[in-house]
Amino acid sequence: MRGCIFDLDGTLTNTLESLTYSVNLTMKEMGLPSITMDQCRRFVGEGARKLIERTLRACGDENLSRLEEGLKVYGRIFHDNCTYHVTPYDGITEMLGDLRAMGIRLAVLSNKPHGQAVDVVRQIFGEGVFDFVQGQSEELPRKPDPAGVLYLLDKMGVKKEDCVYVGDSEVDVATARAAGVTELAVTWGFRSRQVLEEAGATVLIDHPGELVDFLRSRG
C-alpha cells in the first residue's frame, strides 16, 4: 500500500459539535426549532445541502420551501464556526505520524465544502501532514461518486490497488467500492458498527492504531 485517503468528519476529527452548533444557529436565525446532536449525527455525511434538507424537514419544512435560504445562512455561519470545538479522535495524530514514517502518501476527501475542509485540516493538523485535501466543489461531484478518489489517486501518483480509503459511514463504503480501492470502516465515528456492516463494510477497526497494523500487513 502506497496511499491512504481519509474521510474527515467522523473519521479524523470529531466535528459533530461544530456541525450541530452551526445548524442550530442557522435554524435560530430562520425562526425554526433546533435539532439534537443525535439527529445531526444521522443527517451528516452527504454534504451541506443534504444536511440542511434533512434538518428543514425535521423542523417542519417538509416541502423544503426555505432550502436556498437555509443554505445561504448555513454557509455564512459554518464558515465562521467550522472549527468550533473540533478535535482529532484519540490516536489519530500518532497514527498519521506512523503512516508518514512508513512513506504512505496521505490525502483527505470530504463532502464538507472545500474551503472549510482545508481550514479544518490546517488548523487541527497543521501544514505538511497531508499531501492533498479535497472538499466538495463544483468541479467534483460529492461522494459516493468516485470522482474525488480518482482525482486524488492521480494527484498522489498512486494506483487503485495500492490505496486504501478510510471512512466512518455507509457513504464512505460506497465511495471506496465505486472507486475500486480497498475500503476500511472505522467504528468511532458518526455511524454504528451495525450500520457499517449493513452497508457492506468488510474490514472494520476500533482504534486508529489498527490502520497502521493493517497497512503493514499489506506490505
State the chain's maximal CA–CA distance in angstroms: 55
Which is nearest to 113 in space by CA: 32, 183, 22? Answer: 22
> From CA 100, how far away is CA 80, in angstroms rounded?
31
Which class for 180: exposed (0-12), middle (13-18), buried (19 or more C-beta within 10 A)? middle
CA angle, 40 then 35 then 193, to 5°:
30
Indicate which residues carry an active-site annotation: 7
